[in-house]
Structure 1
Amino acid sequence: MTFDASQTAVVTYRNGIVESTHRAHIAVVNANGKMLHAFNDPHRLTLVRSAAKPAQALAIIATGALERFGFDDGDLALMCGSNSSEARHIERARSMLAKVGVDESAMRCGGHAPLSDAVWRDWIKRGFEPTPACSNCSGKHVGMLAAARAMGASIDDYHAAGHPLQLRVKHTVAEVCDLPDDGVQWGIDGCNLPTPAFPLDRLARLYAKLAHAADGDAKDARGQALAHIYRAMTTHPELVAGEQRFCTTLMRAFGGALVGKVGADGSYAIGVRKNALKNADEAIGIAVKVEDGNVTALYAIVAAVLQQLDIGTPEQRAALRAFDRPPIRNTMGVETGYLEVRGDLLKP
């Protein structure tokens, strides 16, 4: 079997036989958007899905909702996260609802199976039926309810594309990515909120700005808000994802040196502070999109990019070992294959 090696980032083997290949695109930029490294099409129009949550949270912060309703850094981290529906996530979402003075019926997302296999097994055992507060996007929804209320706008349709809050979110997302409003396209996400699509390198630029702000290099109100988001996510990585999830494992391992967030269907973004980089005087952003949406391939690519850019220590990168070349096992636990990332993902 042959494949286009110029576009393939990951190959899966079974007994030495190529079983599947995964195309990907990568962009690495600085906070000003200068392209530092790329693989395939770094400008691919990408529905970034939940990787956009920090930008959406930026719009929430601008309404004054955090101060009005007494949200802390853990609450902000949940707004930026795709949580595993663990008990602590559900409890925090309900606590946030109480701060706003609304109940779950106001949330315009549905319950669904959790992202955590352990939580799913527990729910099945207990016959538990998930409610809106169990959504992996619960934090974002409660944050937007709070923002709509802080704006004096209706909360009944806070999720609708034409709602004043969503118009503000759309402008904020475009602006922080250095795009005109019409430079961002919008769809509807799995959680029923608008979700943006823009060039992949602009996602990398967003995360570079988060890391740049965390370095203290942004002094305006927006820079301070970006630094606040970075601090919340890296201080509470367990609220951004959950136990044994890649985002939580990554941010715990790097101890505040970087922020990372997954987006559904194969997108990922990382912002790296300058002190975690070798011979660099500014923060960088990394964005990855896997064409077929394979998350196993995505995490392996992200781990490989960190390795190839020599980000962090060997001990920090070792924390990602379960993701960087995961074995394939059958139902009897027999290893039948493995996933391999090509060795030259980046070029200047």
Structure 2
Amino acid sequence: MTSLEAGSVEPDRRVAATVYRGDAVENTHVAHVAVVDADGRLLYAFGNPSRVTLARSAAKPAQALAVIETGALERFGLDEADLALMCASHNSEERHIERTRQMLAKVHASAVDMRCGGHPPLSEAVYRSWIQRDFVPDAVCSNCSGKHVGMLAGAQAIGAAIRDYQLPDHPLQVRVKHTVAEVCDLPDDGVQWSIDGCNLPTPAFPLDRLARLFAKLADATDATDATDATDATARSAVAVSPRTAALARIYRAMTGWPELVGGEGRFCTALMQAFNGGLVGKVGAEASYAIGVRASDQTAKLGSRGALGIAVKVEDGNPTVLYAIVAELLAQLDIGTAEQRARLEAYRSPRMLNTMGIETGHLSCSLTLEPQRQ
């Protein structure tokens, strides 16, 4: 019997996963899930699918959209790999740092113009390397470096000063705020704004709108593929909008360069590599996650009109639990093939080892998605 069935937990505070040490419960984890289709219809849920959630870095594709729509990529010759880094929360590997430097050169800026600070890398292997070299990271090493260079490019593209580009009232950030609200189908005042760890504004909005954003990324990619497959005579009748083309561009950049979005040993990279362009995924700090799944026979079986969007928030911010839940949801929804999902098994059932390599416990996901009435 679950806690909900026992009547001891509110419907929006249900346990989604439990960590055991031996047979004893060590921690329980509350989570929320929203699954929507390309029309924004809520198809499945767990917990509170409307929970106002700080998307953190899961919002980077929407922020990148605002930069694309300034014309900055064309003006400065930024390519699709650069766009992937703009959407990244990367490991600060050499390839990430070098690409950041190359992007800075393209936009005629330098590390001193960036308003994010250096920090320990997300990768333990990179961290060990830095310690051995007594390396002190600066702004180009930030896991959000690509987003910041994109903002420097976007500010210049609209004729605004690059100084203070990170401030909420800077012309570029005003534009970003409007774009984020619009792409999530919300009025401007329907999004709350705070300051992210990297010093840029970060949005909070209902969880199902984060799922909606990612459904749009996947749906746009389906739409542009349909246009590309249409013969020249009929193409004008099905031409996609500039925004749809931009959303598809973001999807293709992230899935085409998943190693730039995360890096070695990172869930985002492993997920997109496993599904080989079939879905896009992005983590946000404090355990938020979003996925956009391209339309298929399986999404249609789930009742989806077109692409599918999935968004997750774990209340206590535990990333290990988050990745286990995301992998579990893909299994419950039967997304992709069994072979593709098997490549995420280490995340779905992470090994819990002590300092001697002895297994001490396990993680169990208990959430079950509930169909929503339409």
Question: Do both proteins adopt the same fold according to a TM-score greater than 0.5, normalized to the shorter chain?
Answer: yes
- Where does residue 336 of structure 1 map in the other structure? 360
In 2, Cα distance between the equivalents of 1:172 and 1:341? 36
- Where does residue 285 of structure 2 map in the other structure? 264
Q: Please list every run of 5 or more consecutive structure 1 residues that lacks an aligned counterpart in the other structure.
A: none
- Where does residue 101 of structure 1 map in the other structure? 108
Give the CA deviation at 1:216: 1.6
- Where does residue 309 of structure 1 map in the other structure? 333
Is the 8 Å Cα contact of residues 114 and 148 (structure 2) preserved in structure 1?
yes
Is the 8 Å Cα contact of residues 257 and 276 (structure 1) preserved in structure 2?
no
- Where does residue 198 of structure 1 map in the other structure? 205
In 1, Cα distance between the equivalents of 2:53 and 2:367? 24
Stretch of structure 1 that moved more, 279-288 or 90-99: 279-288
Which residue of 31, 46, 67 maps to 1:24? 31
Is the 8 Å Cα contact of residues 51 and 207 (structure 2) preserved in structure 1?
yes
Q: Please list every run of 5 or more consecutive structure 2 residues that lacks an aligned counterpart in the other structure.
A: 225-238
In 2, Cα distance between the equivalents of 1:60 and 1:11? 40
Give the CA deviation at 1:278: 4.9
In 2, Cα distance between the equivalents of 1:209 and 1:278? 14
Is the 8 Å Cα contact of residues 299 and 306 (structure 2) preserved in structure 1?
no
Is the 8 Å Cα contact of residues 93 and 139 (structure 1) preserved in structure 2?
yes
- CA deviation string 1:42-96 (max 9, x = no partner): 0000001000000000000010000000001000000001010000000000000
Matches within 5 A, 1:119-268: 119-216=126-223, 219-268=240-289
- Where does residue 73 of structure 2 map in the other structure? 66
Is the 8 Å Cα contact of residues 34 and 42 (structure 2) preserved in structure 1?
yes
Is the 8 Å Cα contact of residues 353 and 360 (structure 2) preserved in structure 1?
yes
In 2, Cα distance between the equivalents of 1:35 and 1:15? 38
- Where does residue 319 of structure 2 map in the other structure? 295
Number of residue-to-residue matches in the alignment: 347
Matches within 5 A, 1:267-282: 267-275=288-296, 277-280=298-301, 282=306
Structure ID, larger Rg: 2
In 2, Cα distance between the equivalents of 1:210 and 1:279? 17
In 1, Cα distance between the equivalents of 2:122 and 2:240? 37
Give the CA deviation at 1:219: 0.9
Is the 8 Å Cα contact of residues 265 and 293 (structure 1) preserved in structure 2?
yes
The residue type paired with residue 229 of structure 1 is I
Give the CA deviation at 1:343: 5.2
Give the CA deviation at 1:345: 3.6
The residue type paired with residue 336 of structure 1 is T
Give the CA deviation at 1:136: 0.2
- Where does residue 284 of structure 1 map in the other structure? 308
In 2, Cα distance between the equivalents of 1:15 and 1:288? 28
The residue type paired with residue 113 of structure 2 is A
The residue type paired with residue 138 of structure 2 is T
Counterpart secondary structure, 1:301 = helix
Q: What is the TM-score of this pair, normalised by structure 2? A: 0.91
Q: What is the TM-score of this pair, normalised by structure 1? A: 0.97
Counterpart secondary structure, 1:288 = strand
In 2, Cα distance between the equivalents of 1:282 and 1:165? 32
Counterpart secondary structure, 2:296 = helix
